[in-house]
Structure 1
């Protein structure tokens, strides 16, 4: 089940947090509960992606995106993700999620997230996100204008550009046989 109560808790906790610039870092603290585990008694890899929502949505709130989405009746969707898993997170481990937007292009926002435990990065994700309306993807220039932030995107880091290029080479639709 989706962790709605945990999400509402995060949004509530950060409701009065200082606004962040578009590329600011949001930090949230969490615990790995028994229902987050897989059969090896560590944080389930799929649950990791769900828990990262608990960092992205408050980040979106703090940069002013949530208010714009509501006002414009737009939605936020994920269009891709790449994850590295490096350290185990076990039951009752405390960890923090660090989330930030690293930049954007004409269509997508690129969001970096790390899950940190005891000073070590347990996993790291790069998301491609899009804002959509009933006609499809809202161009980021239109999004920035709606947010009152008509600024040029920061240069994307080389590793993000390499991921974008690799994704462009990936066949779609995927194998059918």
Structure 2
């Protein structure tokens, strides 16, 4: 089941925090609950992708994107992800989530998130996300302008650009 109570809690916390610039990092703190674990006694990797929502949505709130989405009747969508799992997160383990937008191209925003237990990075994900208007992608220039940040367009980190380039070679639709 989707963790709606946890998301509501995180959004309420984020509302009380200062606004962030586009390049800001939203930091949140969480616990691995028994309902997050799989048959191997660790946080399920699918659940990890779900709990990343608990950082992305508050980030969107703090940069002003949620108000814009509401005002324009726009929506968000995910268009791709690349994830690394490196360290198990065990039940009742506290962990920190760091969420940021690392850049954009003409169509997509690129978001990076990571989970940390102490000084150890347990998981990291790169997302490609888009803003939609009536099912069509809104150019990122327009979104940035609406957020009073038209100049915000940093060079993408080389590893992000390499992922984009590699993903562009992937066959679509897939063969099977």
Structure 1 residue 148: Cα displacement: 1.7
| TM-score, length basis structure 2 | 0.98
Structure 1 residue 145: Cα displacement: 1.5
Structure 1 residue 152: Cα displacement: 4.2
> Which runs of 5 or more structure 2 residues have no equivalent in the other structure?
none
How many pairs were matched up?
A: 176
Partner of 1:26: 26
Distance in structure 1 (CA, Å) of the matches to 2:145 and 2:174: 36
- Check the 8 A contact 2:103/2:111 in 1, yes or no: yes
- Check the 8 A contact 2:25/2:100 in 1, yes or no: yes
Runs of 4+ in 1 over 6 A off after TM superposition: none
Distance in structure 2 (CA, Å) of the matches to 1:16 and 1:43: 29
Partner of 1:87: 87
Q: Deviations over 1:51-85 (max 9, x none)?
A: 00000000000001000000000001110000000
Partner of 2:6: 6
Distance in structure 1 (CA, Å) of the matches to 2:3 and 2:49: 12
Q: What's the secondary structure of 2:160's corresponding residue?
A: helix
Partner of 2:145: 145
> Which runs of 5 or more structure 1 residues have no equivalent in the other structure?
none
Q: What's the secondary structure of 1:49's corresponding residue?
A: helix
Distance in structure 1 (CA, Å) of the matches to 2:26 and 2:65: 14
| TM-score, length basis structure 1 | 0.98
From the superposition, tell whether residues 33 and 72 of structure 1 become closer, same or farther in structure 2 (CA, over 3 Å).
same
Distance in structure 1 (CA, Å) of the matches to 2:35 and 2:152: 42
Q: What's the secondary structure of 1:14's corresponding residue?
A: helix
- Check the 8 A contact 2:22/2:152 in 1, yes or no: no
